Amino acid sequence: MKILVTGGAGFIGSAVIRNIIDNTQDSVVNVDSLTYAGNLESLSLIEDSERYAFEKVDICNRAELERVFSTHKPDAVMHLAAESHVDRSIDGPAAFIETNIVGTYTLLEATRSYWSTLSQDKKDAFRFHHISTDEVYGDLEGTDDLFTETTSYEPSSPYSASKASSDHLVRAWLRTYGLPTVVTNCSNNYGPFHFPEKLIPLMILNALDGKPLPVYGDGMQIRDWLFVEDHARALYKVVTEGEVGETYNIGGHNEKANIEVVKTICALLEELVPENSYSKASAGHSGEDGNINGFESLITYVTDRPGHDVRYAIDASKIERELGWKPEETFESGIRKTVEWYLNNKEWWSRVLDGSYAGERLGVKG
């Protein structure tokens, strides 16, 4: 099978592509415009594979999308390209409307045009898999409630509203035009190759450099954490085995408050890099109570962001029951792997932080 992956140079998209090339016989066409979060260095381990091709294309460009479909003739689309940072959506929502709504519409129309030319057998086998987020559901009030596939949409931010809009478009293209679509909504991802603006990599890298660890409000916002490689395996299950018209929630069964996540990272760094000048062993930094707190002394509580959802939690029983997927990593095993990866891959994140990775965007041709 040949799978067209949009946003394949991003965090989750690159994990999906690495999983497909490493663990299947399928081919991948990576369609990415290489915005600030797109990093082809995340694909360096598989970029020389004969089953991998890259196209530098914006999903808002209909003509270029039609060229890609005509050239590569994919059997499925996995749509991950999106603007995804909540804080950025609050500061500048226009890009989120353009990419997440207009881009998804344009991709749907280019896909439909291509799909309409296929033989009936290939039409029936084709899949358009739209990858979305649990943030479209808003937040949960109770401590035991979970998001299910039928939870009503109540997005809180421009980001989540734009993703909710794209979900509705995808389902409408199935209902109106018969395009065989499937939707997944996932919880917070973490793991290797995560862009440093997101919570977990930001905390790791700030701590290593002795910078403040900014925590919104009281830090008690709860998220369900999903290791990105578990997510990649789930997405492949859905695109190959999922039922047309179905929605599958994908979660890690790991609810943690943000402050607990930050303190876990601090504890791991105390263990793994005791020689760091901000560790307890080396520095003896004191917290407000006068005790030696090491990396935890860097935690800084900052003003909460507008409309900040309090709790997300996914009920992932449907995908386990119907497709046989469940996460392999606990939060404890996944966060250790993540911290160790950042400690062992300074070259990757240093090039992101200093901006030198961006040079790959210049002169890159499809």
DSSP symbols for 254-305: -EEEHHHHHHHHHHHHHHH-TTSTTSTTTT--B-TTSSB-GGGGGEEEEPPP
What is residue 1's predicted lDDT score, i.e. its pLDDT?
97
Is the overall model pTM greater than 0.85, yes or no? Answer: yes
Judged by DSSP in three states, 76 sits in: strand
- 40 phi, psi to nearest 5 deg: -65, -20
Closest to 18 measured CA to CA, from 50, 53, 54, 42: 42
What is residue 174's predicted lDDT score, i.e. its pLDDT?
98
What is residue 365's predicted lDDT score, i.e. its pLDDT?
33
What is residue 263's predicted lDDT score, i.e. its pLDDT?
97
- How far apart (Å, rounded) are the C-alpha atoms in residues 134 and 250? 9
What is residue 99's predicted lDDT score, i.e. its pLDDT?
96
Tokens representing 196 are 């440093």
**Angle (nearest 5°) at CA 130 between 127 and 133:** 155
What is residue 363's predicted lDDT score, i.e. its pLDDT?
40
What is residue 362's predicted lDDT score, i.e. its pLDDT?
41
- How far apart (Å, rounded) are the C-alpha atoms in residues 285 and 290? 9
Judged by DSSP in three states, 82 sits in: coil
Q: Which tens digit of pLDDT belongs to each residue from 141-169?
A: 766 789 999 999 999 999 999 999 999 99
- How far apart (Å, rounded) are the C-alpha atoms in residues 129 and 242? 9
CATH class of 2-192+226-253+312-328: alpha beta
From the number of C-beta atoms within 10 Å of its C-beta (0-12, 13-18, 19+), residue 303 rates as: exposed
* Element containing residue 231 per DSSP (H, E): helix 228-241
Mean pLDDT, consecutive 10-residue stretches, the chain (366 aa), reads 98 98 98 94 97 98 98 98 87 94 98 98 98 92 84 94 98 98 96 92 96 93 94 98 98 92 98 93 60 86 79 92 97 97 96 79 38
What is residue 283's predicted lDDT score, i.e. its pLDDT?
62
* Contact present, 160 and 84 (Cβ < 8 Å): no
- How far apart (Å, rounded) are the C-alpha atoms in residues 203 and 330? 20
Catalytic residues: 134-135, 159
Pairing status of strand 255-257 against strand 222-227: antiparallel
Distance of CA 222 to the CA centre of its chain: 18
